């Protein structure tokens, strides 16, 4: 038996130093914890459907925020490869959640444990690596005026 999920706790290592990004990441951390609590109470298909729908909507909104910052600061021009990797990770997350939602609709729902393990791992990895690199780039640009 895997250990039960521990709530995610915001950690200074997660901070990118870019306010808009960090605020939304904190909301995402909170959203995943809330999803875990809600799914522990009710893991019905309807509930899974609602939770994954809300989560996807917020994730897409958040990706748009980061991607407009990339545009604003010329990330693609300066770091084409890194920008492409970043966008691909956002797309791959969205596709995965869409596939999970299709599974739910098709009567083949993901288990809450599996869903939360995917979400936790993806978010923390993405924040600690890909978003940190974007944050460092934006801060450098901001400092350069
Ligand atoms: Fe990102």
The predicted pLDDT at position 2 comes to 64
- Measured in Å, residue 81 CA sits from the centre of ligand 1 at 14
| Residue 128 lies inside a defined structural domain of this protein | yes
Quick one: 4 exposed, middle or buried, by C-beta within 10 A (0-12, 13-18, 19+)? exposed
Domain that holds residue 138: 29-144
| Residue 22 lies inside a defined structural domain of this protein | no
Q: Are 26 and 62 in contact (CB under 8 A)?
A: no
- Measured in Å, residue 129 CA sits from the centre of ligand 1 at 9
Give me the mean pLDDT over the 66-90 stretch: 98
13 alpha carbon, distance to own chain's centre: 16
Ion ligand 1 — residues with CB under 5 Å?
A: 66, 131
User: Which domain CATH number covers 101?
Assistant: 1.20.120.50
- Measured in Å, residue 90 CA sits from the centre of ligand 1 at 6
* pLDDT band, very low/low/confident/very high, at 1 (cuts 50, 70, 90): low
Number of helices (H), then strands (E), in the chain: 6, 0
| Residue 42 lies inside a defined structural domain of this protein | yes
Q: Are 40 and 112 in contact (CB under 8 A)?
A: yes
Tell me the per-residue pLDDT of 87-144, one tens digit each, with 9 for 90 and over: 999 999 999 999 999 999 999 999 999 999 999 999 999 999 999 999 999 999 999 9
- Measured in Å, residue 1 CA sits from the centre of ligand 1 at 32
| Residue 3 lies inside a defined structural domain of this protein | no
Task: Kindly report the pTM of this predicted structure.
Answer: 0.95
């Amino acid at each position: 038996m895997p250990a039960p999920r521990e709530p995610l706790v915001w950690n200074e290592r997660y901070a990118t130093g870019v306010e808009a990004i960090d605020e939304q990441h904190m909301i995402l951390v909170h959203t995943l914890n809330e999803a875990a609590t809600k799914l522990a109470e009710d893991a019905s298909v309807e509930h899974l459907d609602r939770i994954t729908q809300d989560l996807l909507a917020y994730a897409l909104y958040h990706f748009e925020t980061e991607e407009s910052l990339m545009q604003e600061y010329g990330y693609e021009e300066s770091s084409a490869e890194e920008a492409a990797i970043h966008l691909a990770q956002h797309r791959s997350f969205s596709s995965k959640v869409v596939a999970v939602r299709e599974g739910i609709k098709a009567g083949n729902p993901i288990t809450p444990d599996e869903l939360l393990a995917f979400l936790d791992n993806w978010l923390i990895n993405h924040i600690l690596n890909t978003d940190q690199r974007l944050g460092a780039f934006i801060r450098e640009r901001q400092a350069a005026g």
